Amino acid sequence: MALITLRRNLCHLSDFRIHGALAALRNHPVSRVHKIAEERRPPWFCPLPSEPVRVRFHHACGQKFHSENGNDLLHPAGELVFPPAHDWDTPEQNPSRVDEQTFYERLNHLTSSEEVLSFVSTLQALPDTLAAGALQRICDMERKDGDQKLPKEILKNSVFQALCVQLERESSSLPDPVLVTALQALTLLHADPQSSLLLNLVAECQRRLQRGGLEVHSLCILGESLIKLQGPGCATLELIICQLQGEKLEEFTPEDIVTLYRILQACTVKVNQHQAFLNRINTFSLSVVYSLSPALMSQMLGALVVLDQTQALPLFIKLGKSVVKHIPHFTNEELRKVLEAFIYFGHNDRFFTKALEQHVASACLTLGPDVVSKVMEYCSRKRILSKPILDAVAETFICQSEKFSPHQISELIEPFGKLNYLPPNASTLFRKLENMLLTHFHYFPPKTLLKILHSCSLIECHPVNFMAKIFSPHFLQKLQGEELYLDRLSLAQLTQLFLTSVLECPFYKGQKLLSKYQVRSFLTPCCSLETPVDFQLFRSVKTGLIDLLGARLYFASKVLTPYCYTIDVEIKLDEEGLVLPSAVHEDVHKRVALCIDDPKRFSLNSKHLLGKEAIKQRHLRLLGYQVVQIPYYEIEVLKSRGELVEYLQRKLFPQSTGVCW
């Protein structure tokens, strides 16, 4: 009844889904089994033409399988024989007499499952090794086509069914690599784990695993297949990992190393148990980085993130240098994983950024929304003001805005505000954004919408048409949700938007923000809308101010204004321009706000202020302050204390020829 059970299970193969890549044949045009066989032949051995292996069945019901041309696939005696071969030009080309190497060379040139089955059907009989290779090639073809299901015409094809029957009946006699390869191929098709075919293959693999002796590559394939079939909690997986730990890493191929990372990645709950093994793998992997393909590099980086291997920084840095030349060759998903790793490890590389700029600028319209939003997150996190990237992303959103989800739109727009950058097509970009928000306002989560509108205000693209909506009690209630209080960042963003409506949009006469939703300070330990002053830079400026003004009492530091901003240094002047003690509140004619800007207030390696610092200085000027910017790059070039005093005098009193005390 095994054959009947198999055929019934094959009828349900239409539910199979393709996930992941097939590693065994992709990089090896000749099967591993064939290579092993070649290595073990004595030097005097010369293969002679032999009859192909024929598989015999004892079930009469096997006669029910038919090929498309009407010939019985299984003869009455139970012998698995394919339809007669077509006549080829020469005897050497007759597929009934091809050896393994010729078979795999031809198989690797086929480009569709139909071609593979058509080729197999021309063979009079097929060895088990080649049957597994043909099945795996079919899976590989379907994965490349991007289909989510194996086509019904493939599932119902008599040749495909015969391949599965052959592997099930001969599972106990299959060589180890052929056995695990067949299991992997069917697993990637998401076959029913309870089908007789998979049950037989899994049981046979487990028997051989218990006996020991499976080579490294077979252990790796078996481990991944069992994770897909039974989940990372299966007991057999621990035995596989235990056996792999006993192997020498020098015997692992680069593909096996990456497979090992993927296996451990699936067992994150037990990562602490395997950390010593991971440390060995991380160290050894340094020697294989430059032999990895783009896909394998991406998978290794993804595993380092999932496994939280922050201590493997040397490995990540080497991978980061290696991926630079492969950026154009990554798929969207692979590039997303690479960017995620750079963000996770907090690393940036100017060569990587340059290569990313070139790739995004040339292929922006072909990149998926996930990749585009991840590119923008990378630039935002590392404060990278890359005009080629930002310009290309703006163009992508204008042309393909309907492809982006609300969250992806937020990740795309926020960096423009954070980096204080308006692209050349800014008017078209924000008109497109405004129309999308007006049309789909209720589809945007309240916090996502608030982030987008706040980011727009940072670069003076004020969302006047939405202010009444976001200041309304109804929106604020939705923003709060089921929490007792609104979070600090949302309150600060609302407050700054309201301050913007008062200072920069005096024509706005709509809903005001209730006082209970307004914060007193934008400077908070976390989620701050201001960057705290750098202590070392402040101390240098303070020393120069004391020398210039004569005493510490003539200026105040870290002054919280009534308008929520904190001023690094405040100096008060009377009507004649004389400096007043900081404790005096009467007769103050002008207030000077010194912004002591360290590198964290600028885009990376530039003199371009971040958006939150630009809006702060803009608002302080509108509030009547004389804003004096003291950037770090001007302080660093001063060579003496005297030069510092002269510099501060020119900054504070440009109209005076000198100040004497």
Q: What is the 3-state secondary structure (H, E, C) of 256-295?
A: HHHHHHHHHHCCHHHCCCCHHHHHHHHHHHCCCHHHCCHH
pLDDT single digits (tens) 565-576: 999 999 999 998
- Cα–Cα distances (Å) from 134 to 22, 28, 79, 81, 185, in that order, read 13, 14, 19, 16, 10
Q: Where do we find the tokens 């997986």?
A: 237
Q: How far is CA 527 from CA 36, 444, 490, in A?
A: 60, 22, 9
Is residue 586 over pLDDT 70?
Answer: yes
**Helix ranges (DSSP H) in 62-112:** 100-107
The answer on pLDDT for 55 being more than 80 is: no
Query: Pick the residue with more confidence: 88 or 563?
Result: 563
| Pair type for strands 626-631 and 590-597 | parallel
On average, the pLDDT of the chain sits at 82
What's the pLDDT score for residue 136? 79
Q: Could you give the CA distance from residue 499 to residue 518 in angstroms, rounded to a whole number?
A: 10
DSSP-based three-state secondary structure for 659: coil
Three-state secondary structure call for residue 294: helix
In angstroms, the CA 191 to CA 186 distance is 6
Give yes or no for residue 60 having a pLDDT over 50.
Answer: no
- pLDDT over 80 at 405, yes or no: yes
Whole-number Cα distances in Å, 109 to 119, 403, 511: 11, 36, 68
Average pLDDT over residues 133-140: 79
Predicted local confidence at residue 182, as pLDDT: 83
pLDDT above 70 (res 478): yes
β-bridge partners, 631: 597
Contact 127, 53 (CB under 8 A): yes
Alpha helices (runs of H) in 170-269, residue ranges in sequence order:
176-188, 196-211, 216-230, 235-245, 254-265
The full length of the chain comes to 661
Backbone angles phi, psi at 66, to 5 degrees: -130, 150
Question: Residue 480 burial (CB < 10 Å; 0-12/13-18/19+)?
Answer: middle
pLDDT(27) > 90: no
- Which of the four pLDDT bands, split at 50, 70 and 90, describes residue 229? confident
What was the pLDDT predicted at 75? 36
**pLDDT, position 120:** 83
- pLDDT of residue 65 exceeding 60, the answer is no
Task: Say if residues 145 and 70 touch (Cβ distance below 8 Å).
Answer: no
Percentage, residues of the chain above pLDDT 90: 59
Q: Which helix (H) or strand (E) holds 172?
A: none
**Whether pLDDT at 91 is above 60:** no
What is the pLDDT confidence band of residue 516, given thresholds at 50, 70 and 90?
Answer: very high
Read off the pLDDT band of 232 (50, 70, 90).
confident
Joined together, the tokens standing for residue 120 give 């197999």
Contact 645, 547 (CB under 8 A): yes
Q: Which of 30-34, 48-52, 197-201, 555-559 bottoms out in mean pLDDT, i.e. has the lowest?
A: 48-52
Is the pLDDT at 42 greater than 70? The verdict is no
Q: To 5 degrees, how large is the angle CA 385–CA 386–CA 392?
A: 130
In this prediction the pTM is 0.77
- What band does 656 get if pLDDT is binned at 50, 70 and 90? low
The CA–CA distances, whole Å, from 572 to 311, 585, 594, 611 equal 51, 9, 11, 27
Q: Which two tokens stand for residue 256?
A: 């096996």
Pairwise CA distance, residues 368 & 355, whole Å: 18
**Whole-number pLDDT of residue 184:** 85
The encoded tokens of residue 114 equal 């139909």
Max mean pLDDT among 6-15, 151-160, 221-230 falls in 221-230
Between CA 419 and CA 613 the distance in angstroms is 10
Regarding predicted confidence, which is higher, 18 or 278? Answer: 278
Six-digit token string for 195: 């089908």
Give me the pLDDT at residue 149, please: 57
* Domain range list for the chain: 1-41+50-211, 355-517, 535-652
Q: Which of 139-143, 334-338, 378-382, 473-477 has the lowest mean pLDDT?
A: 139-143
What's the Cα-to-Cα distance from 616 to each of 498, 522, 536, 620, 648, rounded to whole Å?
A: 14, 10, 22, 6, 21
Task: Express each pLDDT in 244-276 by its tens digit.
Answer: 999 999 989 999 999 999 999 998 888 888 899
pLDDT (mean) for 280-285? 96
pLDDT at residue 212 tops 80: yes
Residues forming beta bridges with residue 385, ordered by sequence position? none
> 535-652: which CATH number, 2.60.120, 3.40.960, 2.50.20, 2.70.98?
3.40.960
Backbone angles phi, psi at 150, to 5 degrees: -75, 125
Report the share of the chain in percent with pLDDT over 70: 82
Which residue, among 459, 400, 457, 464, has the nearest Cα to 432 in the 3D structure?
400
pLDDT of residue 595: 97
Query: pLDDT band at 511, cuts 50/70/90?
Result: very high
Q: How confident is the model at residue 630 (pLDDT cuts 50, 70, 90)?
A: very high
Other C-beta atoms within 10 Å of 384: how many? 21
DSSP class of 484: S
Q: Is 238 in contact with 227 (CB distance < 8 Å)?
A: no
The DSSP line for 299-310 is HHHHHHHHTT-T
Q: What is the pLDDT of residue 295?
A: 94
Distance of CA 189 to the CA centre of its chain: 25
Question: Any idea which of 474-483, 603-612, 618-627 has the lowest mean pLDDT?
Answer: 474-483
- Phi, psi of 618, deg, nearest 5: -65, -45
Say yes or no to pLDDT of 489 above 50: yes
Radius of gyration of the chain (CA): 34
Between CA 147 and CA 190 the distance in angstroms is 13
Bin 628: left if φ > 0, else alpha if -120 < ψ < 50, else beta: beta
What pLDDT, on a 0 to 100 scale, did the predictor assign at position 444?
A: 94
pLDDT at 25 over 50: no
Residue range 61-68: average pLDDT?
34
Q: Is the pLDDT score of 73 beyond 50?
A: no
- At 504, give phi and psi (nearest 5°): -110, -10
Give SS3 for 603: coil
Mean pLDDT, rounded, for 560-567: 95
The whole-number pLDDT of residue 234 equals 85
Q: Which of 175, 157, 163 is nearest to 123 (CA)?
A: 163
Question: Residue 545: how many CA atoms within 13 Å on its side-chain side?
Answer: 22
